């Protein structure tokens, strides 16, 4: 049959891989959207984590910087945490609140967010290549009527691809510097950065920064 011939020629492999990538990106979306981004728990539940955190980051920060209590949820904020008024929680290593995900991006789901962006970029590039391969250009209204859907899809894919590339590059740059979007945008308002002698007291070199983030 035609299906068997296509399978023998390997023509079914690419659509299956593409569908698998789309399904993976959907699963990653729900994973990032629904998981705990690193909500700060009650103070007594944080004692076990505090000693480990201090050994990594606090020696690089002036000793007169004290951990403060959040004025909204009344928990003692670990360093690099911030309260999100949309989520109504303080989030560890707060990066930003993502409206697409309807969730904060923080300590626990930030690596999954980067994997999701990478997967989404692969799907968009592949989809753009498929859409482009189906286009042949003619200067006529008849051609435009027959190809308007494909042409619109291609331009939308291009726009989303540009957005995904810019997001991925900016996040990878910040990760390589061991800083967050919030720290980068609000450096002058954050006490542990404003009073530090170093521009970024958490930077431990690109390789170690990436290792600590992903591993």
* Type and span of the H or E element at 197: none
Residues 75-102, buried b or exposed e (16+ Cβ, 10 A)? Answer: bbbbbbbbbbeebebbbbbbbbbbeebe
Marked catalytic residue, from 24, 70, 98, 177 = 98
Taking alpha carbons only, the member of 165, 177, 168 closest to residue 213 is: 177
Give the C-alpha separation, 215 to 211, whole Å: 5
Residue 180 and residue 81 in contact, taking contact as beta carbons nearer than 8 Å? no
Contacts of the segment 106-109: beta carbons below 8 A, 24+ positions apart: 106/37, 106/38, 106/39, 107/37, 107/38, 108/35, 108/36, 108/37, 108/38, 109/31, 109/32, 109/35, 109/36, 109/37, 109/38
98 is catalytic: yes
List active site positions: 98
């Amino acid at each position: 049959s035609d299906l068997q011939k296509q399978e023998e020629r390997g023509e079914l492999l690419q659509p299956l891989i593409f569908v698998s990538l789309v399904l993976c990106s959907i699963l990653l979306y729900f994973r990032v959207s629904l998981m705990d981004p690193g909500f700060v728990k009650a103070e007594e539940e944080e004692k076990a984590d505090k000693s480990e955190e201090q050994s990594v980051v606090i020696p690089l920060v002036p000793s007169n910087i004290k951990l403060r209590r959040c004025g909204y949820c009344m928990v003692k904020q670990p360093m690099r945490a911030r309260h999100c008024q949309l989520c109504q929680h303080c989030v560890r290593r707060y990066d930003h609140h993502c409206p697409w995900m309807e969730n904060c991006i923080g300590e626990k789901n930030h690596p999954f967010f980067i994997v999701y962006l990478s997967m989404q970029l692969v799907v968009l590039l592949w989809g753009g290549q498929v859409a482009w391969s189906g286009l042949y250009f003619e200067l006529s209204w008849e051609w435009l009527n027959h190809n308007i859907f494909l042409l619109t899809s291609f331009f939308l894919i291009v726009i989303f691809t540009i957005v995904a590339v810019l997001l991925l590059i900016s996040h990878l740059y910040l990760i390589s510097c061991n800083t967050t979007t919030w720290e980068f945008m609000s450096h002058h308002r954050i006490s542990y950065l404003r009073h530090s002698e170093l521009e970024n007291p958490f930077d431990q070199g690109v390789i170690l920064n990436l290792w600590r983030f992903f591993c």
